[in-house]
Structure 1
Amino acid sequence: MNFVRVLNDIKLRNKLSLTFITVAVIPLLVSGVFFTGKLREIMVKDAFKQAADNVDRVRKRTEEVIKVPLDISYQLSNDSRLKSVVSRSYDSYIEVIQTYRQYTEIRDYMRLYKEVKAIRLYTPNPTMLNNWEFMQPDAKTEQADWYKVALGKKGLAGWGFIQDERDQKYYLSLVRKISLDDPGQESVLVINVNTALLNSIISQESFQTMIVDDHNNIVAANRPNLYGKNLAEVHAGDSMLTQSEGSFDAVMDGKASKVVIASLIPQSSWNGLRVISVFSVSDIVRDANGVIRLAALVIGGCLVVAVLLVQASASLITGRLLRLSKHMSKVGTGSWNAYLDLDGKDEIGQLSHRFNALVGRLSQLMLEVEETNRQKRLLEQKQSEIKFKMLASQINPHFLFNTLESIRMEAHLRGEENIAQAIWQLSTLIRSSLEVGNGKIPLSEEIAMVRCYLELQKFRYEDRLQYKLELASGIGEVEILPLIIQPLVENSILHGLDQKEDGPTSITIRADYSEDGQVLVEISDDGAGIVPGKLESLVRELQEPEETGQRIGLRNVHDRLRLTYGEGSGLSIESKEGEGTRISFCIPRGGESNVLSDDR
C-alpha cells in the first residue's frame, strides 16, 4: 500500500518517464556497458601485442643503423695508417696539413654511410692540429664521464648522448678507446649517429615511441618536443626509468598509459639503448571507438523506438490536459474569452467545466474593476485641475499696495515726471496678471512681467536695488508656466533686500540650457541670506504634502512646477547668511547656450 501511495503522489509525466527508464533505458545501458567493456578488454590485448611487435621492429632497425658506426669503429681501431698519423710527431703545421690530406678514410666513411653524422678522434698528440676529425682533448673533455669511462674500457664500445663541439648539438654517439703503438698515448674515437635517420625509423609509429640511452636521455623520438629531454622531465614513472624490458602500466603526463620496453645492447658494447613505446588508454582503444559508436547507434535506435511507444501511449492521456493548459495560459495573458470545449464526463471533463465557470466570473470582475478605475482617474483629474487653478490664483498682493503707497507719497511730495512711467509699468503688470490663464506662455513674456515688477520696486528702493537679466540666445521662445519667476523675485526683495541693513542689493535672473538639454532658471541675490535653521525649515515645508508655514508664494511655485513637469522639477534653494540666496528650477527643453545680459 505504501508503494502504491508513493506512485500516486508522483506526477503523471514523471510516472511515465520512470516507467520508460525501468523498462527500456536501464536494460539497454547495462547490456551496452557490459559489451563495451568486453570489447575494450579485447582491444587492449590486441594493442599490447601490436605494441610489442612495433617495438621489436624499431629495435631491429635501430640495431641495423648503429651497426654501421660499430663496424667503422672496429676498422679504425685496426687501421695502421690511422695509428701512424696519430702517433707521429710533426715538425711543422705544413707537415700536419699534408698528412691530413693524404689520410682520407674518415671523410670517405662519412661520405659513404648516411648512418654516420660525424667522426672525430681525440688524441693527446700536441703536434697535431684540430680539424674536427683529429682533435686534442681539452680539460672539459678530459673530465667528461664518457671520456674517462671510454679510457677505462679495454676496446669495448659505449653509447651515450654527447654534445658535438662543432654545432653544439647532442647526438647519440659511439665512444671507443683506440690503443696506439706508444704506451700512454691512448685516443678516444667518437662517432655521431645520424639523428634524422633514427627519427625517421620511429616517425611512422602511431604511438609515442622513444630511444633512450642508459642515462635515460631521449636520443630519438617521434614527438619533436621530447628529443633531448630526460625521461624524468616528462613525468615518467620509476618503472620506466629503471626497467630494461617488458610491459607494464604507468602514468605519463598525468594520463594512464601502457608501456612496452625492449633492450638493445650491441655486440662488444659495455652499455646499450632501450626502445620505449607509450600508449594512453584512449589511444589503445581508438580503433574500438568505431565499434562502440556503432553499438551506441543501435542502443540509441532502441531508445528512440521506446520513446515513440511511450509518447504514443501518453498522448492519449495528456492531450486533453495540454489543451486545458493552453487555455490557462491564454487567461494568464489577459484573454477572458478563452472558452474550453472538452467532451467527456471524467475528471478532466469536470475540470474543464469548472474552468469555464471560473473564467466567466473573472471576466465580470475585471470589467467592474476597470470601470471603478476609470471613475477614479476622472476624479483625480478633476481634483488636479482644481488644485492647479487654486495654486495659480494665489498671488501675494502686498507688493501692489506698497507700490501704490510709494507712488502716492512721491506724487504728493515731489510731483516728478517719472511717476507717470511708474504708473504705466504698474498698469502693464496688473493687465498682464489679469490676462494670465492656465496655459503656458513664452519665457520672454514672463521676463517682461518680471522687468516691470523690478522697475516698480527700483522706483521704490532707488539705488538700494540693482538687477540683471541674463538670457541665453533663443531661450525666450521656450514656453513656461505664468507667474513662476515673479514670486521668486519678490521673495528676494522681501527677505533679501528688506532685511539687509545697509548697502545695495543686486538680483540676477538667469535662464540658460543645462548640460542635459533642460532649461535652467536661477534667481540669485546678495542680500541678507537665510540662517541655516530657517533654511532647513523652509526646505522641509516645501516637501510637506499639505501647505504649512508662511512661504505661500514659494510653495505655490514649487507645487505648480511639480504638478506640471514632474517631481524632479521643483525648487532648489541654496543660501548663506549674510551672503545671499539662490533659487533655481529646471524644466524639460533642449537648446544651445549663448548668454545675453541686460544690466540695470
Structure 2
Amino acid sequence: MRKNIEILFIKTINNMKLRDKLIFTFIVVVFIPIMVVGLFLTYELRDNAVKDAIEQSQVNVERVKKRTAEILNVPIYISNNLQFDQRLSELVNTSYKSTYEVVKAYRDYRTFDYFLQYYPEIYNIKFYMDNPTLINNWEFIPVGEEERNLFWFGHSVSEPGFNRWYYLADETKANHYYLSLVKRINFLEQKTHGTLVITIDPRQLKKILQQEPFLTMIVDESNFIISANQPHIVGKGLYEIIDPKHKIKNQPAVINGEINGESSQIIVDNLLPEMSQNQLRIISIVTDKHIVKDANKLSMLGAAVTLIGVIIAVILITSVSWLLSKRLSNLSQNINRLSAGDLSTRIVVDGDDEIGQLSKQFNNMVENIHGLIDQVEETTKQKNALEMSQNEIKLKMMASQINPHFLFNTLESIRMKSHMKGEKEIAKVVKQLGKLMRKSLEVGGSKIPLSSEIEMVRCYLEIQKFRYENRLNYELSIDPLSENMKILPLIIQPLVENAVIHGLEDREDGGMILIKTKVIAEFLTVTVEDNGSGMKEERLNEIIHMLAEHHEGNGNRIGLLNVHNRLQLTYGKQSGLMIDSQEGKGTKIQFNMPRGDENV
C-alpha cells in the first residue's frame, strides 16, 4: 500500500507542468519554512535586543569606571608628591613662637594653591597636624579632641601610607558632602605624621555621569550615593533607591530587581583605585520597559518583513516559473536540432543564470570539438615536420659521409704516417677530423649531452684553424651547469659553420668566434658570436623573414632554418633563433631552451 502511494505521488509530480511543480515546491519547501523561520527570528531578535541592551549598559559602566579612575588618579598623584615634600615637612613640624611666624610660613608655602589652580579635578586640600603652634586657616588644621573623634581620622592614623576614600562633610564648604581621599603622611626624620584630605570636585564626576542614557551612580563602601546623573538622589543611601532585598555584592554582577515598582536590570562593577584600602562601586539601572520597547519594535519589524517577503515571493515565483518554463522549452528545441547532428547549430538563450550558462557551455563544447579537431591536425602536421627535419639531417649527413668507415680508417693511416715523419700539425688536424667523423657516426635522432656537441664544435674549429692558421681564433665559454644538459644533435655546429663560412672566410685578417652557454633560472642560453663581415640590413631582414616563413633554398648543408625549425618544434615558438648583425662588425646568433634535460 505504502509503495503504491509513493509510486502514485512520484507519477503525479512527474506529470505536472514545470510551472505547477515550482509553485507546489514553493508552498511546501519555501512558504512553510519561511513562516517558521520568521517566527523564530522574531523571537531571537527580541532576545538579542535584550542581551545587547545589557551588554551596552555594561560597556557604559566600564567607560564610567575608566574615566572616574582617571579623576581619582589625580589626588593619588598629589598625595604621593606631598609625601616627599620637604617644605611641607618643615612647615608642619616647626614650633612657632608667634602668630607672625605662622602666617609668614603659610604665605610662603603655595603648593596647595598650585595644585588647586592647575588640577580642576581637585576642589579642596586640607592637612591635619598634631602641632598646637599651628593656626587653623582651613588648609592647615591643628588636631584637637574633636578631630581625633572623627571615624575617618582614626582609620588614617591606624593605616599609615594607604589611601582611603570617604564621603565626608567639608566644614570649609558649608558642610556639604564630597568624595575625599584621606591619607596619612609620615615624616620619618621628625618621627611624626599628619593626615592629608583631598576633596574631589563633584562637577567632574557629574560631567561623566550626565553622558549616560540610563540611571548611573557612584557609591562608596558605606552605600552612600556620591554622584549620579539624577542630582536629586546624590547623598542618599543606595537602599533608598533600590529595594533592600536586592543585596549588592562586592563583585561585578547583573541583578534582576525592581526600581520604583518597575522590573529592571542592575549592573554593578567595582572600582579600586591604586594603593587604596577601600573601593567604590559603579551602578547602572536599566528598566526592562526601556529594553523591551526596542525589542518589541524589532519583533514587529521582523514579523512585517516576513509577511512582505512571503507576498513578494509568491509574486516572484509565479513570474519566474513562467519565464523559466519558456526558456527551457526554447533550450529543448535547440538541443533536439543538435542531437540530429547539425554541429553548426548554436543555442541562443538570454540570461546568465544556470540555463544561460548551460547554453553558453554547450556552445563552447561545440567550439572545443572544432578546436580539438584543428589541434589534432596541427599536432600531426608539426610531428610530421619534425620527422621530416630529422630525416633531412640524416640524409644530409649520409650525403656528406661517403663510406665514412673507409674514410676514417684512411685518415687514421695518414695521421700515423704524418706523425712518424714528424708532421705533427698535419697529424693533429687529421686526428681532429677523425674525431669529428666518429662523432658524426654516433649522431642519431635522439638528444645528446651538450658537452658532446661542444666537442664536435671544438674538432670542427681546430680543423678550420689549421686551414686559416692565425686568421681564425675561437673561445669556448661553457657554463658548468649546462654540460650535462641534453640537446638536439647538430644544433650548435651549423651555427659555428655559418659563422666561419659567411663571417670570417672573406676577411683577410680573419677574426674571433665566441661560443657561450649560460644557465639562467630555468633556461639555457646558447650564443654563437663572431666579429667578421656581418650583414647588411637588407640581408638580415631577408634571413629573419626566411625563418619566420619557414622557407629556405636548396643545399646539402644543415642550414639556419633547419636549426630554427627543430628548436621551435621541440621546445616551442620562444626557442627559435635570434639573429643580430651589423655590416663590418660581426654577427650574433642566440637561442634559448628550457632547463629540463640535465643529468640524464
TM-score computed with the length of structure 2 as normaliser:
0.43
TM-score computed with the length of structure 1 as normaliser:
0.43
